[in-house]
Amino acid sequence: MTKKDYEKIASVLNLGKIECAAYGFEIAPASARAYMVGAREQWLELVNRVSAVMADDNPRFDRAKFLKACGL
């Protein structure tokens, strides 16, 4: 994979975080807090798994830079 591939994937994951906000990712009423935590945990797990695959693919992969590009 190339740097451009990593950048495209990060932008998609970042967009996923933004889209989750409308469903309680960032702000939710008290009745929806369990969902909010669940959505955030699922998104974080996805980002971590993708970054692990990329790190295995490329020893020069910068995980911190990728996570920042994903919105963390």
For the chain, 72 residues long, give each residue's pLDDT as a single digit of tens: 888 988 999 988 887 776 555 554 455 566 665 566 667 778 888 999 999 999 999 999 999 999 999 888
The domain in which residue 63 lies consists of: 3-69
How many independent structural domains does the chain possess?
A: 1
> What number of CA atoms fall less than 13 Å from residue 9's CA on the CB side?
18
- Sole residue written with tokens 């996805």: 46
The whole-angstrom separation of Cα 59 and Cα 17 is 26
pTM of the predicted structure, to 2 decimals: 0.71
- Sole residue written with tokens 């740097």: 3
